[in-house]
Chains A and B, each alone.
Chain A
Amino acid sequence: SQTIHQWPATLVQPVGSPLSLECTVEGTSNPNLYWYRQAAGRGLQLLFYSVGIGQISSEVPQNLSASRPQDRQFILSSKKLLLSDSGFYLCAWSNRVGEQYFGPGTRLTVT
Chain B
Amino acid sequence: GIQVEQSPPDLILQEGANSTLRCNFSDSVNNLQWFHQNPWGQLINLFYIPSGTKQNGRLSATTVATERYSLLYISSSQTTDSGVYFCAVELANRDDKIIFGKGTRLHILP
Interface residues of A (CB under 8 A from B): 32, 34, 36, 38, 42-44, 46, 49, 51, 57, 59, 88, 90, 92, 94, 97-102, 104-105, 107
Contacts and interface: CB of A to CB of B under 8 A. Distances in A.
A77 B42 CA distance: 22
A98 B98 CA distance: 8
Nearest to B31: A98
A102 B43 contact: yes
B71 interface: no
Contacts of A105: 41-42
Interface residues of B, number: 22
Contacts of B98: 34, 46, 49, 94, 98, 100
Contacts of B88: 100
B93 to A, nearest CB: 12
Contacts of A51: 96
A61 to B, nearest CB: 16
